[in-house]
Structure 1
Amino acid sequence: MKTVDLFKLTLVVSLFLGRLWGGGAAVPPPCSKIECPTYTVVYVGNGFEIRRYDSLWMSTSTIQGFSFLAGTQTGFTQLFNYIQGDNNEKKKIEMTAPVLTQITPSDGPFCESSFVVSFYVPEANQANPPLAKGLHTQNWVHKYAAVRQFGGFASDIGVAMEAAALETSLTGSSWYNVIKKSRNGTSVYTVAQYNSPFDFFNRINEILFIFDM
């Protein structure tokens, strides 16, 4: 059997088992208190899992800077103002999790990186979300992600190390070439933070490599 046919067969079986075992409702523990996007776990590997999402996000424009933490804070402020009513409908929207920060690393130590920060749009608002200047929606339709979880507080050095660890975990797996091809060799990755900054214990963060099948 050809490698590509075997990969497709593995994907189909994984999707079926994910539905059979209730994978479609899988969410990290903090989501028992706050609304989060659901996803289907289609594969569990050594140090990573592959998920499929169908969800809507509200995102900032690109933020340039040297720090993931500073970029996330800038984007978070814009999005928090948005859900507090700074939108074209003057409508308040429920806070959700996680806070996503897409990172496009700089090409050198003295160059700025690029950040895009996103909030998940609550299900009640997804059909017709309010709009706001400087923000745009991202619709993840059958979007896939390779995911690695880690604890504690996310930091500039820490997220880069976790992204490298996810890359290492994927190397040699049946997903590696698919993900690499979809990402066109880029080093872009996304950080998901689920907890309030006032939660000091049992924190959940994730590194995601977003890709298409």
Structure 2
Amino acid sequence: MKFLRLALILGLCLTGACAIATEEPAFTVSLAQGDCEVREYPALVVAEVSVTGDRKAAASAGFRLLAGYIFGGNTARQKIAMTAPVVQAPAAGQKIAMTAPVLQSGGDGQWVIRFIMPRGATLESLPRPNDPEVHLHAIAPARMAVIRFSGLAGPDAITANTAALSAFITAQHLQAIGPVSLAQYDPPWKLWFLRRNELMIPVAPAAQG
């Protein structure tokens, strides 16, 4: 089954249905230090699904459902440009903070997988998903502490980089207000050592005055 899921994703990509994303959400950087930075993201529109399983299985299942939507599985049979990243974030009773890029986060086998919709898309202009598991949401502007890392986003890499990002947040006297999310920017056929990943933690807005 795992092989079949991978073959499906690769097949879509090799036939041109899953072109490498060229658009990423706009943001401004208010603080940068090494591989860490603080970003200000505008309001975004996302398509998302809730899935269960381990991180890899959830990412695969969520990607397949969301790919179905943007490749024409909607009321207008419209193809929607894929953007980067894909985001995986926590679900099941946890508050889900804004995650931009595909983002992946979660715990206890519960995950939310998100695709960011193209710039200018609105809830009114996007076609409705045919699959009832796919939902469209507007996400409020958010401030995110981010760490970049390359390679495979395995458990050890996620643990080490989460610790580094948390240390950055503490050192900069920032206040974390949500869980960590995983953002991945590259297709599955890209060489592992060239892959771009980010971990994101929402932080409180900067004090005014």
The one-letter code of the counterpart of 2:189 is: F
**2:108 maps to which residue?**
112
Pairing of 1:22-61 with structure 2 (within 5 A): 34-45=22-33, 47-54=35-42, 55-60=44-49
Distance 1:97 1:64 in 2: 22
Distance 1:157 1:63 in 2: 23
Shift >6 Å, 4+ stretches: none
1:199 aligns with 2:190: yes
Cα deviation, 1:95-147, whole Å, max 9, x if unaligned, reads 21101111369xxxxx8332110111012533611222212233333211100
Structure with greater Cα Rg: 1
Identical positions, percent: 27
Q: TM-score by structure 2 length? A: 0.71
Distance 1:118 1:159 in 2: 19
Distance 1:159 1:211 in 2: 19
Cα deviation, 1:71-102, whole Å, max 9, x if unaligned, reads 11111000011111111222111121101111
Aligned length: 167
**Selected match of 1:189 from 150, 168, 180:** 180
Distance 2:111 2:157 in 1: 16
Q: TM-score by structure 1 length? A: 0.70
The one-letter code of the counterpart of 2:136 is: T
What 5-or-longer segments of structure 1 have no aligned partner? 1-31, 106-110
**1:88 maps to which residue?**
75
Distance 2:21 2:81 in 1: 12
What 5-or-longer segments of structure 2 have no aligned partner? 1-19, 93-106
Q: Name the one with the larger helix percent.
A: 1
SS in 2 for 1:171: helix
SS in 1 for 2:63: helix
Pairing of 1:80-159 with structure 2 (within 5 A): 80-103=67-90, 112-126=108-122, 128-132=125-129, 133-159=132-158
Distance 1:134 1:156 in 2: 27
Residue 46 of structure 1: how far off its partner (Å): 5.2
The one-letter code of the counterpart of 1:44 is: A
The one-letter code of the counterpart of 1:102 is: A
Pairing of 1:167-186 with structure 2 (within 5 A): 167-175=166-174, 178-179=175-176, 182-183=177-178
**2:100 maps to which residue?**
none
Distance 2:199 2:151 in 1: 13
Cα RMSD between the aligned structures?
A: 2.3
